[in-house]
């Protein structure tokens, strides 16, 4: 597998402690594929990917993870119930979506959000920022 630019950063990845666990919710197989590659290359452990709201909700209860990356539109189904749930539980997440802020419900307009198609380096920086709580 050819390395991609972001992989070289190595941030949050290998090292002295358990790798961070990233819950991935993405319905498009090809997109999930790339996301999985990028996260793995950066040393994260990918939980998922899950391609439906129900499977993602179940996984979020079941699996341990540090940060969730959420596609918004899951084949016509919106991921908002899961986002609300994560907020309620104090869990951190990033929307990875083609939607602009105004397309989102008002309560999510200030949530962490990365536009599609994403820059892998930006994704890794965003994960680091979200994890550190800034």
Partner 1 sequence: MNGLQVALLVADSAVPQSASEPGLHERILEHLPAAIYMTDAEGRITFYNRAAAELAGREPELGKDKWCVSWRLRRHDGTLLPHDECPMAIALKSGLPVRGEEAVAERPDGSLVPFLAYPTPLFSANGELIGAVNMLVNVSERSADTVMRDQSERFDVLQSRLAAIVEFSNDAIISKDLSGTISTWNKGAERIFGYTAEEAIGQPVTILIPEEQSDEEPGILRRIRNGERVEHYETKRRRKDGTIIDVSLTISPVRDHLGNVIGASKIARDVTGRKRAEEALARRVNEQAALHEFTARLHRATSLKEVYQAGLDAIIKALGCDRASLLLFDENEVMRFVAWRGLSEGYRMAVNGHSPWTKDSSDPNPIFVDDIETADLSDHLKEQIRSEGMRALGFVPLVTKGALVGKFMTYYDRPHVYSRAEADLCLTIARQLGFSVERLRAEEARRRVEEALRESEQRLQLALTAGRMGAWEWELGSGRVIWSPGLEELHGLEPGTFGGTFDDFKRNIHPDDLPMVEARIGDALRTSEDYHVVYRIDHPSGTIRWMESFGRFNRPAEGRSPRIAGVCMDITERKQTETQRDLLVAELSHRVKNTLATVISIARQSFATNPDAVEAQRSFNARIRALGQTHSRLAEASWSGVSLETILLDELAPYRREDQTNLSISGPYTSLTPKQALTLAMAAHELATNAAKYGALSHRGGRVEVEWTKTEGQLRLKWCETGGPKVVAPTRYGFGRMLLERIVAADLGGDVRIDFASGGLCCEIDMPLQPR
**Binding site residues, partner 1, CB under 8 A:** 1-2, 4, 27-34, 37, 51-52, 72-73, 75-76, 97-100, 103, 115-118
Smallest gap, in angstroms, from Cβ of residue 41 to partner 1?
11
Give 116 or 131: the residue with its C-beta nearer to partner 1. 116
Give 78 or 128: the residue with its C-beta nearer to partner 1. 78
Rg of the chain taking only CA atoms, in angstroms: 14
Q: Which helix (H) or strand (E) holds 95?
A: strand 92-97
Q: Which two structure tokens, joined as six digits, stand for 122?
A: 């930006």
Percentage helix, strand, coil for the chain under 3-state DSSP, each rounded to 5? 40, 20, 35
Smallest gap, in angstroms, from Cβ of residue 132 to partner 1?
27
Smallest gap, in angstroms, from Cβ of residue 84 to partner 1?
20
Q: Are 62 and 39 in contact (CB under 8 A)?
A: no
Q: How far is residue 59's CA from residue 69's CA, in Å, rounded to a whole number?
A: 13
Give 1 or 88: the residue with its C-beta nearer to partner 1. 1
Q: How far is residue 67's CA from residue 132's CA, in Å, rounded to a whole number?
A: 11
Give 66 or 127: the residue with its C-beta nearer to partner 1. 127
Smallest gap, in angstroms, from Cβ of residue 47 to partner 1?
16
């Amino acid at each position: 597998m050819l390395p991609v630019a972001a992989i070289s950063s190595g941030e949050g990845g290998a090292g002295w402690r358990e790798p961070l666990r990233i819950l991935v919710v993405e319905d498009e197989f090809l997109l999930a594929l790339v996301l999985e590659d990028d996260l793995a290359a950066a040393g994260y452990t990918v939980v998922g990917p899950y391609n439906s709201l129900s499977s993602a909700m179940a996984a979020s209860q079941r699996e341990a993870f540090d940060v969730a990356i959420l596609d918004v539109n899951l084949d016509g189904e919106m991921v908002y119930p899961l986002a609300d749930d994560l907020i309620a539980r104090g869990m951190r997440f990033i929307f990875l979506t083609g939607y602009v802020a105004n397309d989102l419900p008002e309560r999510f307009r200030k949530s962490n959000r990365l536009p599609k198609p994403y820059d892998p380096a930006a994704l890794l920086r965003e994960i680091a920022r979200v994890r550190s709580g800034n």
